[in-house]
Amino acid sequence: MLRTLGRRVRAVALGIATVLGGSLLATGVPAPAHAAVPDTIPLRITNNSGRGEPVYVYNLGTQLSTGRQGWADASGAFHPWPAGGNPPTPAPDAAIPGPAPGQSATIRIPKFSGRIYFSYGQKLVFKLTTGGLVQPAVQNPADPNRNILFNWSEYTLNDSGLWLNSTQVDMFSAPYAVGVQRADGTTATTGRLKPGGYNGFFTALRGQPGGWANLIQTRGDGTVLRALSPLYGVETGALPASVMDDYVNRVWQKYSTSTLTVTPFADQPGTKYYGRVSGDVLHFTNSAGAVVTSFQKPDASSIFGCHRRLDAPNDQVRGPISRTLCAGFNRSTLLTNPNQPDSGASGFYQDTVTNHYARKIHAQMADGKAYAFAFDDVGHHESLVHDGNPRQAYLTLDPFS
């Protein structure tokens, strides 16, 4: 099971950014009027993990000026990947030594759409195929990174600024927080767990009936490595494929006799779409009554992955509606509120059938923000920092407590 950069496409920030292979790529954002964003900015990495193993850091992604894939070294210099093969060939060693426990180290990040990986105790294994970089896919028991403790952050730095997030879309693992220092000297941070939140999440997941504890992966020595996302749980059989069926059936029944109204753009309250189920298909019409898009009844994979029957192209109609539906299904708000998106987090995840992985992650975040599924940014509940003229970025490796 190979996963190459660019295979998975999702949109974030509702028209502000698109994620290619999990990485933020800002689009349609006008260049700021203030001083131009430099070619590289400093990223200060602080190791507060309390762990004694060496840390390895990687900056992998797409060079925005050329569209080439590659890696950046500690100085921010870009190195394109060489040609890959079939079977995949080893990638060049792109590891940057990370800070020792209790220490900080600063690297420079270039104008990239990419990921900052970090691993504990062992370097990650990257390979190149003819389609590009093969990224870790630890839902596959044969993946060479399966028993390595690691995680990553996603970012885009371009002429319009920095977008930097913490993500749990694929897995919940080694805790960390991200931040940005703005031009005025103030700092914004997100992604930090509450005290006890790391262990609290795994404890809560183990206590959730229905197979959710099966998402947790451990190493032979007993080390808890991660919890897979429910999408991978369904794909690997750890979660039953029918896990969301009851909720979906109830939604389909409700909107066969009533209307689901979607207002996908917060800055365009007059743009509305109206959904009704007919013949087991959810059809959306515009204000003129014309059908603009339709959805087959989604399965759990479509919901957790925000893909397949909930595919979201980067357009102005189907994509925005699908993003809204995906958020409503994952948060289980479609039965309680016929006007979507629902922005009130207090009403999220209240149904017994819901994305319990996302529910438990948000419950353990200090600010309540997370990227627990692909469109967790609907309603601005995502763990993202942004600034149009950043002075410095931060990545803090937090305690495993």
Q: Which residues are catalytic?
A: 154, 170
Q: How far is the C-alpha of 118 from the C-alpha of 360, rounded, in Å?
A: 24
Q: Which residue intervals of 242-315 are DSSP H helices?
A: 245-254, 300-305
**346 contact partners, CB below 8 Å, separation of at least 6:** none
Element (H, E) at 330: helix 318-331
3-class SS at 364? Answer: helix
φ/ψ of 273, rounded to 5, equals: -130, 145
Q: How far is the C-alpha of 186 from the C-alpha of 190, rounded, in Å?
A: 14
Residue 240, amino acid: P
Q: How far is the C-alpha of 52 from the C-alpha of 56, rounded, in Å?
A: 13
Q: How far is the C-alpha of 340 from the C-alpha of 363, rounded, in Å?
A: 22
Beta partners for 55? Answer: 120
First CA to last CA distance, the chain: 32
Element (H, E) at 285: strand 281-285
φ/ψ of 212, rounded to 5, equals: -65, -30
Q: How far is the C-alpha of 165 from the C-alpha of 156, rounded, in Å?
A: 9
**236 contact partners, CB below 8 Å, separation of at least 6:** 139, 228
